Amino acid sequence: MIGKRVVVTGLAAITPIGNDLTESWTNLVAGVSGAGPITRFDTTGFDTTFACEVKNFDEKAYIPHKQIRRMAIFTRFAVACGLMALENAAYTVPDAEASRVGVIVGCGLGGLEDLEMFHSKLLEQGPGRVSPFFIPMIIANMAAGQISIFTGAKGPGLCTTSACASGVHGIGYAYTDILLGRADVMICGGAESTITPLGIAGFNALKALSTRNDDPARASRPFDKERDGFVNGEGCGLLILESLEHAKARGATILAEVGGFGASLDAFHMTAPPESGEGMAQAMSAALREAGLAPEEVGHINAHGTSTYLNDLCETTAIKTVFGSAAYTVPITSNKSMIGHTLGAAGGIEAVMSVKTIMEGVIPPTINLENPDPACDLDYCPGVARKAEVSSVLCNSFGFGGANACIVFKKFTD
pLDDT band, residue 1 (cuts 50/70/90) = very low
pLDDT band, residue 4 (cuts 50/70/90) = confident
In a domain, 50, yes or no: yes
CA dist 354 and 336 (Å) reads 13
CA dist 366 and 399 (Å) reads 20
In a domain, 216, yes or no: yes
User: Is the model's pLDDT at 3 over the cut of 70?
Assistant: no
* Domain finish residue from 200, 218, 249: 249
In order, the DSSP letters of 329-346 are: TS-EE-THHHH-B-GGGH
Helix axis angle, 278-291 to 309-323, nearest 10°: 40
In percent, how much of the chain has pLDDT > 90? 99
Closest CA to 411 of 364, 354, 327, 363: 354
Neighbouring C-beta atoms of residue 7, cutoff 10 Å: 25
Task: Map residue 223 onto helix, strand or coil.
Answer: coil
Give 295-330 pLDDT, tens digit per residue: 999 999 999 999 999 999 999 999 999 999 999 999
Q: Which helix (H) or strand (E) holds 252?
A: none
User: Is the model's pLDDT at 383 over the cut of 90?
Assistant: yes
Average pLDDT over residues 234-257: 98
Beta strands in 19-128 (DSSP E): 36-37, 50-51, 101-106
Give 5-28 pLDDT, tens digit per residue: 999 999 999 999 999 999 999 999
Same domain, 224 and 369: no
In a domain, 311, yes or no: yes
Same domain, 164 and 304: no
Same domain, 110 and 137: yes
Burial of 194 (0-12, 13-18, 19+ CB in 10 A): buried
Sheet holding 332-333, edge to edge: 157-158, 101-106, 185-192, 235-243, 6-14, 256-265, 403-410, 392-399, 300-302, 332-333
* Domain finish residue from 249, 276, 292: 249
Same domain, 336 and 399: yes
CA dist 179 and 176 (Å) reads 5
CA dist 185 and 191 (Å) reads 19
CA dist 136 and 144 (Å) reads 12
Same domain, 197 and 279: no
In order, the DSSP letters of 29-43 are: HHT----EE--SS--
pLDDT band, residue 106 (cuts 50/70/90) = very high
Same domain, 84 and 206: yes
Q: Give the structural domain span for 367.
A: 260-410
* 368: CATH: 3.40.47.10
Q: How far is the first Cα of the chain from the last one, in angstroms, to the nearest whole number?
A: 17
Task: Catalogue the active-site residues.
Answer: 164
User: Is the model's pLDDT at 208 over the cut of 60?
Assistant: yes
Same domain, 112 and 214: yes
CA dist 212 and 127 (Å) reads 40
Calculate the average pLDDT of the chain.
97
Same domain, 240 and 313: no
In percent, how much of the chain has pLDDT > 70? 99
Same domain, 211 and 294: no
Q: What angle do CA 235, 277, 233 make, to 5 degrees?
A: 15
Positive or negative torsion for Cα 277, 379, 172, 259: negative
Output b/e per residue, 21-51; b: 16+ Cβ within 10 A: beebbebbbebbbbbeebebeebeebbbbbb
Same domain, 229 and 360: no
- Which are the contacts of 21, defined by CB distance < 8 A and separation ≥ 6? 11, 12, 13, 84, 88, 352, 356
Q: Largest Cα–Cα distance in the chain? A: 64
Helix axis angle, 142-151 to 73-88, nearest 10°: 40
Query: Between 414 and 196, where is the model more confident?
Result: 196
Closest CA to 394 of 406, 382, 412: 406
Burial of 391 (0-12, 13-18, 19+ CB in 10 A): middle
In a domain, 308, yes or no: yes
In a domain, 224, yes or no: yes
Same domain, 220 and 310: no
In a domain, 255, yes or no: no
Same domain, 320 and 402: yes
* Domain finish residue from 199, 216, 249: 249
In a domain, 1, yes or no: no
In a domain, 254, yes or no: no
CA dist 192 and 343 (Å) reads 7
Give 66-104 pLDDT, tens digit per residue: 999 999 999 999 999 999 999 999 999 999 999 999 999
Q: State how many domains the chain has.
A: 2
Give 171-182 pLDDT, tens digit per residue: 999 999 999 999
Output b/e per residue, 105-139; b: 16+ Cβ within 10 A: bbbbbbbbbbbbbbeebeeeeeeeeeeeebebbbb
